[in-house]
Amino acid sequence: GESVGLHLPTLSVQEGDNSIINCAYSNSASDYFIWYKQESGKGPQFIIDIRSNMDKRQGQRVTVLLNKTVKHLSLQIAATQPGDSAVYFCAENGGGNQFYFGTGTSLTVIP
Amino acid sequence: DAMVIQNPRYQVTQFGKPVTLSCSQTLNHNVMYWYQQKSSQAPKLLFHYYDKDFNNEADTPDNFQSRRPNTSFCFLDIRSPGLGDAAMYLCATSTAGLDTQYFGPGTRLTVL
């Protein structure tokens, strides 16, 4: 499958601070990306997506940035809350219907 | 209003004893996926169906098979489970590759 990796395996932030989670991808032809949140014992939950014709997309408290030049994605979470503690994955559409996941970053929010 | 349902949530099987995991969806999506997720790792795509068209990943072992008898249901068959097959198995659906995937809660498989 495609190679989609994350720079940091763990991240700890203070409650109320902003969090930034990074992801590198290898397939320059990928044209759709998704960020997922996965809590312990549950399936991945969709957070936000972005298509390759965009550089930035905002949701509620979350922003995804896409830099196609360096094949890099980031997820920004504003005013991080304890409920944001989870593992975050980026996933890349590898052509056709396949999606390939990155390594994951475990986010811990310190109250 | 569950959308992607997986049964059972927990499955225990014996080494070498065939096991079947089930997934159903109420979304009427064309594509259904099976992923394997081991502890502290990312989900790994095993295969997917686009309608009745089966698409296997090159590195998926032959021990893993799948069936999709209709739009709503998809099964994962593990013919001879080994200890290394213990994992969470996730089912997901989407309308197409350039659209969001929806995941079920997963089935945690234990192999004794």
Each residue of A66-75: pLDDT tens digit? 999 999 999 9
Pairing, β A72-77 against β A19-25: antiparallel
Question: 3-state class of B34 per DSSP?
Answer: strand
**pLDDT band, very low/low/confident/very high, at A7 (cuts 50, 70, 90):** very low
Residue type, B45: L
CA angle A23, A27, A30 (to 5 degrees): 90
**B104 → closest Cβ in A1, A31, A43:** A43
* Structure confidence at residue B97 (pLDDT): 64
Q: List, in order, residues 6 or more apart from A75 with CB less than 8 Å away.
A: A19, A20, A21, A23, A35, A47, A48, A62, A63, A64, A88, A90
Task: For chain B, list residues with pLDDT below 50.
Answer: none
- Please state the rounded mean pLDDT for residues A93-98: 81
Query: Chain A residue with minimal CA distance to B54?
Result: A97
The pLDDT value recorded for residue A96 is 80
Helix, coil or strand: residue B85? helix
Concatenated DSSP letters of A5-68: E-S-SEEEEETTS-EEEEEEE--TT--EEEEEEE-TTS--EEEEEEETT-SEEE-SSEEEEEET
Q: Using 50, 70 and 90 to split pLDDT, how confident is the model at A28? A: confident
pLDDT at A18 over 60: yes
How far, CA to CA in Å, does A102 sit from each of A7, A77, B38? 10, 18, 14
SS3 state at B84? helix
The values of phi and psi at residue A82, to 5°, are: -55, -35
Q: Provide the b/e sequence for B60-90 (b: ≥16 CB within 10 Å).
A: beeebbbebeebbebbbebeebeeebbbbbb
Computed on alpha carbons and rounded to an integer, the radius of gyration of chain A in Å comes to: 13
Across the range A24-31, mean pLDDT stands at 86
Picking from B32, B45, B100 by the largest number of A CB atoms within 10 A of its own CB, the best residue to mutate is B45
CA distance B11 to chain A (A): 14
pLDDT at B83 (0 to 100): 96
Residue B39 has what pLDDT? Answer: 87
Report the mean per-residue pLDDT for chain A.
90
pLDDT at B61: 96
What pLDDT does residue A27 have?
84
Sheet of B64-67, strand order = B4-7, B19-25, B73-78, B64-67
In B80-99, the residues whose Cβ lies within 8 Å of chain A are 90, 92, 94, 96-98
What is the structure's pLDDT at A9?
85
Amino acid letter at B51? D
